[in-house]
Structure 1
């Protein structure tokens, strides 16, 4: 085991470097934005509310981390929904970082996953709306308009 890597109390590798608003690691000691703790636990409703708040503020990477936390604790029948939501959010992150190819791929992959839940997605998730948004943004990114991507445009729920 390498001793020069950041580790959590359980000894697992865990990067402790500060991050910028797009989730990129910064040098130690740099001011970063608050991170979602790696051990954070959210109920589906808490996760949706927090992820939507973060998207509204332009923090797609951090919204992805929240959605990923819900995915990790979700019941088996909902895991692919949460995985897809997290992929759409990280696709937006790639668009914000200027990675058009990665953005389009993740946006479509996430859109396909959430679309499987159709209009009956649990927790008020607007699966069809999220899927349509992800596919539309993927097209915009591929057309060279990734600089126009605004994570606040993604609405996670039907209400």
Structure 2
């Protein structure tokens, strides 16, 4: 069926307010598309410019609520709008959130791969940032340990993990 996408004609494609193609299907808490008309979880607005502290607080609240896909979108905004010198940091954090998303969806291979990639990015950023291991209060060493542990659990046990139970503490564990 030429000129269609999923049974919809190109002229019927979902568009945002600027006319760009954007899938308007509702999504569940892990970002999976649901059928049109289904009740979904409100999506994160895109392109929001936040301070680093606002980014970390918003992402942590979403992670704690079991919405790592949405946290990834917050980190993605930071990597796209932040200073060039911090893009690798925010991209690595987005990879960690997407890794948790895939692990919670039961995608063992993708989840483990992205968790390890994000852990490596966090370690690399800390090593190359003049020893700044806690930029914006982020505990990069603890996040790398968390990600590698979760990747091992996902590969060993298979199946989906709880996004809430495995939500990382971005600024380290209390106490």
TM-score after normalising by structure 2:
0.83
Instruction: Give the aligned length.
Output: 159
Q: Pairwise CA RMSD of aligned residues? A: 1.9
1:83 aligns with 2:91: yes
Q: 1:117 to 1:96 in 2, by over 3 A?
A: same
What residue is the counterpart of 1:123 in the other structure? 136
Whether the aligned pair in 2 keeps the contact of 1:92 and 1:149 (CA below 8 Å) is no
Q: 1:78 to 1:34 in 2, by over 3 A?
A: same
Shift of residue 105, structure 1, vs aligned partner = 0.6
Shift of residue 28, structure 1, vs aligned partner = 1.4
In structure 2, list runs of 5 or more residues that go unmatched: 4-9
Whichever structure has more helix as a proportion of its residues is 1
Instruction: Pick one of 14, 18, 26 that aligns with 2:22.
Output: 14
1:157 aligns with 2:171: yes
Runs of 4+ in 1 over 3 A off after TM superposition: 145-153
Whether the aligned pair in 2 keeps the contact of 1:18 and 1:25 (CA below 8 Å) is yes
Question: Which protein shows a greater Rg?
Answer: 2
In structure 1, list runs of 5 or more residues that go unmatched: none
Q: Mean alpha-carbon deviation: is it higher for 138-147 or for 86-95?
A: 138-147
